Every structure is written in structure tokens, then in C-alpha cells.
Chain A
Amino acid sequence: MSGALKVLSHHLRLYRRVWKGSVFVSFVSPVLYLASIGVGLGSLVSRGPAHAIGGVSYAAFIAPGLLAATAMMTASSETTFPIMARVYWMRTYDAMLASPLTVRDLVGGELLWLCFRLALVSVIFFVVMAAFHTVHSVQALFAIPVAILSGLAFGLPVMAWSAKQRTDTPFALLFRFVVTPLFVLGGTFFPIDRLPRLVEDIAWLTPLAHGVALTRALTTGQAALSSALGHVTVLAIYAAIGIAAALVTFRQELAR
């Protein structure tokens, strides 16, 4: 564990150089989304049947979805280019592996780092959500750890895959054909049950749908324990597979 902390402290030291800009962006993007889509578009949407989105305002409906989606976006940007850079471009991991640190420490350190980034982004997002009066329950606070878990469920498998990449083309494809469609169709902007049956079934296979469903249930105060456990289980399985896979791919790439 202490090895993973050393990897984390390396990343934190680099982050220290850019944290102001990074935190600023983390504030601005939810403000823009909630103001434009939530309030602006919402003023039109809210005239539709309120029961379809659980009887809350449209802004309150999409805010938790955006929270989970933002966690996914943050996780994908942290686990694509930076991972390939540390494996291949900058060879940061080679430097670490010349010390007593091990491949396990690298994966553990990346996990801690991802948790840190996701926590930062999710807390900031939650504060903005509260400022827009889109938080309707005390249990809403649990939406923060759920958003973090959603980010891990998506980011850790991506991280395992990124370690094998040698060019950035696959990342462009990932964003275009996986991240963006999920963002649009994963339940953030409208209930997934409005999708054709086949697409809905596919959506439920993705971590984002579960993350969105659970954060939404929590912030609107409609979470039931049994379904919450189901969502958490799916997300945890994704994250666990990601870690196991990363241990394999990191070893393949770095300790051949």
C-alpha cells in the first residue's frame, strides 16, 4: 500500500502545477450544463408529463445523470492518454519499476489517483447541483461515492486497455464510439425506458446506466436499498475486472 501512495504522490506533485485550471473547469462545466440544458431546455421539457421523469424538474432529473456522466468523462480522460504516456511516451513507469516499487504498486497508485480525481470532480459537481436546487434528499450525499464508483467502473477497464496502446488513434475511437454515445444514450438526459427495447437492454449492460440510475434515485430521494445494491454490485464488478485486467496488461507491457 505504501508503494501505491508513492505513485499517488508523484501524480499529485504533477497535479500541483495545474490544479487551479483543473478545479476551475470542474466548476464551470456543471454550471454551464445545468444552466443551459437543465434550466434553459428544462423550461420547455417540464411542460411534458412530469411522471415520466419521476415528478421532479428537468434540471433535477438530469443533474445526477450529469454527475455520473462527468465521473465517466473524467475517468476516461485520466485513463487513456496519461496511461499510455506513462507506459510508453514518458516511460514514467519504467523509472518507478527501477526502484523497489512493483507493478501492483503502479496499479494501486493509479486507483488511488483516479479516486482522488473523481472525488474532487464529484464534490465540486455536487456543490453546483445544490446551488441549482437540484438536491432533494439527505441521502443525496451518497451520490458522491456512487459517482466515484461509476467513474472507477468505467475507467479501470479502460486503463487496462490503454496500457496496451501505442498510438492515440484508438483513444479517439473510444471517445467517438463509446464515451459519447454513452453520454447521450446512457440515461443522462432522458429515461432509458424511452429507448427501443434492444438499445435499452444494451444500455443496462454499461456501467453508466447503473451509475446514472443510482445517483438519480439518491438525489431525488427515491432510492430503494435492493435496487441500490444491485447497481453497486454491477459497478463494483466492472471496477474489480478493471483492476484484475490492469494487473495483467501492466505486467505484460512493463515486466516482460
Chain B
Amino acid sequence: MSMISVMEGSIAVAQAVKACRPKVVSAFPISPQTHIVEELAKFKAKGELEAKYVRVDSEFSAASVIYGASATGVRSYTASSSQGLLLMMEVLYALAGTRLPVVITGVNRTVSQPITIQPDHQDTMALRDTGVIQIHVENSQEAYASHIQAFKIAEDHDILLPVMVCMDGWILTHSYEPIKLEGQELIDKFLPPFVPKYRLDPKKPMTYGSYADDEVQEFRLMLHFAMEKAKAKIEDVALEYKETFGQYFGGLIEKYRCDDAEVILLAMGSVIGTMKDAVDHLRKKHIKVGLVKVRAYRPFPTEAIYEAVKEAKIVAVVDKSLSVGQGGPLATDVKAALYNKNGPPVLSCIAGMGGRDVRVSTIESIVDYALGCMQGGKAPDIAYIDFKPHYLGMTKI
């Protein structure tokens, strides 16, 4: 039986993880990931979590513990943030390369220096080439659902890739929402036990972590193809979740009031909720604006994004991170998706870094600016939103 109650985003994630029946959980604390792993520890202490819970000496070890566990054939989970995710990064490449379907919560927080524990997407952006699937969520209910979906996507024998569910720290992990928790029986039906393709087993001695000189290029290609296959899988699993539990948050992307939109906003994460409010408000003023939520950042939904925005006159991408020396990483990917197809121009906006608030009014000013660019027929390379004005020698709003 499903049940609705008000809880923190972190608790919703912990509930989802528990319901997925992992056999091994390992974690090292870092803000703002802590409430998730603390809640799982409480479940364990109360006998409600079946998993072995391994408290470790670092995030490097946390990722390594679930690596060994997954290779031994059991469903495994960890969570981290920011510096912790960066410390895991070497392990993440290896996990993906070894095709181990672990699930990780990436609680988005910016990266030092200077140090702050405030959220943006700088951390998971650094992980985009690891071979780990990234699903970014808009709210805590989606975070709950996406963890249940994540194991199903990861463990499919056509995919066999780690999945990271990315959620904005504090904004989601520490805010309270009514959450619909699904019944265990239905979850068990949706997510059957993990069946590994290979495993460490003395009955059939397999070698993991080979030295491969000749075929590295092909192994990397296989990873890429598995990512390509994951596109359909992510869509299918989202639809199956909808059929089973009645909730849908989008597949690779979610379109919001895009049908006749001239300006389309495009972003990931919790800012989507704010953007939906802004779109509704602007629509009342008869401004033709729509929104594309990017749910899967890797694999990148190149085709789906093109189809969603091709009729628009301009796309305004909001990045909560900055690829120093290049610009907005999400905008860069969107431009690449549209470039050879005569897509609309792309306005790249950098906003909300280090936890700076992105409000409805911020989004409205971006739309306003995009409308101006649209009339002028082209977009500037980059727009820095809500930066302190005297630091901006370049393009500004």
C-alpha cells in the first residue's frame, strides 16, 4: 500500500533505497549528503534495512566497497557530494569500465576552493565522462522514484552501467515535501532481485580488471553503445513506473508548455520547479515560453532535445556550473545537439552557482533577455545572471 507523508528529501531517498533491498550500502559523510546515509543507518539499527552497512574511511573507499560488492553479485548503493564525488571519480571510471550496475546518489554541491557547502552542479559536471548514467531530478518525489528506476536501468543486461541520481543539495535534500511512498510489494514486482551477468565466484573463476592494450578503444566504444541503449531504457522504465505507480516525471527529458513556444528554457535539477512557475506566470501574460527539463544528462538526449526545441526561435539554457575557459557545459551540449540541424540559436546563461538563489523573477529576466536576443536574431556567447555587476567586464544582463 502506498502512503503519503511529509518528509525531507533525504528521507525520501533513504526510503527508496531501503525499498530497493540493496545487499550492501557503504558511505562516508559529507554535507549535504549526510541525512540520507544517517537515515539508512537508522533503518539498519532498527532492523528495517537488510543491507550490510559498511562505514568507511573515505569516499574513495565507499565507492570501492560497493565496487567489490557489486562484482560479487549483489545490489549495492552509496551517496556523496562535491569533494566526495570528486574523490570517487577514479573509482567511478573503473566502475563503469567494469560495467558494475551500482546506484549512487549525487547530492549536488559546489566544489572547493573557496569552500562552501552550497549547491550547484559543478561536482557532477566533472563526472560526466566517467561512463556513469546521470539522472537529474526536479523534486524529492522524483528523487524517490528515480532511485527505484535507477536500479532497474543499471541492472539491465543490455546496459550494466552505474547510475547516479543527482539532486540539488539543501534545496531538495533538506526541504520538506509530501512524499508518496509506494508499497513494498509493488516495488518488489517493479524491481526484481539483481541477477549479475558475471560475478566473483570460486565455482567459475573469472578475472576482473584485465590489462588490455589492444582493445581499449573498443571497450570505450562498448560503454558508449551501452549509454546509447540506455536512452530507450530510461524512457521505458519511466513509462513502466508510470503504469505501475501512476507517477511520471519525464524520461530523458520532460517538456512543459513547449507546443507553440518561441522561447524555450532548458535546465536540470530543482530550478525546474521555479521555471515552471515562471513559465505559468509568463504564459498568463501571453508570452510564448516553454520549458525543457533535462532529466538524463548522460546519456545526453541529443535527439529528444532537438525534437523538443526545433520549432522555437531561441533556447535559453541555464547552467548551474561553469566550465572554466569554455562556458556553460549544458549549453555546450545543447548547442552540439542542434548545430548540424539548423536548430534555433542558444543563449547560454550561468546562474545559481554556489547556492545563489534563482527566483521566478530571475527566470523572467532571462526570458526577457532571450526575447530581446530573438528579435535581434542571435544570442550572445554567454550571459552571467545575477553576478555582482562590477565583476562583469564581459556580457551581462
Q: Do A and B bind each other?
A: no
Q: Which residues of B contact A (CB under 8 A)?
A: none
Q: Which residues of A contact B (CB under 8 A)?
A: none
